[in-house]
Amino acid sequence: MTTQDLRIVVVGGGRVGLRTARTLDNRGHDVIVIERDPARSDRIADEYVATVIEGDATKPSILKQAGLSKTDVLVALTADLGTNLATCLTAERYGAPIRTVMRRTEEDTNEYADLVDATIFPERSGARAAVNAVDPGVRALEDMIGDLEILVMEVTEQAPVAGRLLTDVALPEGSLIVSDSEGDTTAGAETVLEAGQSYVVATEPSVEDEVVRLFRG
């Protein structure tokens, strides 16, 4: 599965779900949020970060509205473990192939490893852990405080920056390449951004999508 231009269904529009939707939208992905509470659904719709479907995601009829056959990833982030598990299992039944990510309620457990592709415990790591599980091509430092994103990104073959000197790359204001490909020294003007190599990048949320596309194509 490619990590570029994913179609992602987020189940649950609470604090973690909305933050996850915002971050994925900033990265240029196509995001759909399923939320059963009408007032919360309206608030999400007003932000224009995702298409919103109001309803109970454990019902196949609601999930089908999200177009599971065209969906790459479903991430269930409600506060109810049963809802999250049921949603993931239903999605796998109707959306093949589809990657499933589930919010769990216990910090350390492999209980559901055979049922879903990945689990997260957002009480410890927040929305960044959900995004990392959904989009492994761009990994964020999960314990960051505040909105600044510290990402580890691999340069793809088709990336605009591939094979170029850092001095020749026009990064958007609000972003900074921190390390070289070995992670041993800070990046400098003569650093070559090599395809297949990963770099540490700091970026403000407003330019995250532009930075990701420079590295990922």
Model confidence pLDDT, tens digit, residues 3-26: 568 999 999 999 889 989 988 988
pLDDT digits (tens, 9 = 90+) for 91-106: 998 877 899 999 988 7
Q: Do residue 56 and residue 154 come from a single domain?
A: no
Residue 200: which CATH number?
A: 3.30.70.1450
Can you tell me the distance from the alpha carbon of 109 to that of 98, in angstroms, rounded to the nearest whole number?
23
Of 145, 147, 139, 24, which is closest to residue 74 (Cα–Cα)?
A: 24
pLDDT at 169: 93
Q: Do residue 81 and residue 165 come from a single domain?
A: no
- Using the 3D structure, point to which of 136, 161, 177 is the last residue of a domain: 136
> Strand 198-203 and strand 175-177: pairing?
antiparallel
Task: Judge contact between 157 and 216, C-beta under 8 A.
Answer: no
Q: Do residue 209 and residue 160 come from a single domain?
A: yes
Positions in the chain whose pLDDT score sits under 70: 1-4, 107-109, 123-129, 137, 139-147, 181
Task: Judge contact between 17 and 78, C-beta under 8 A.
Answer: yes
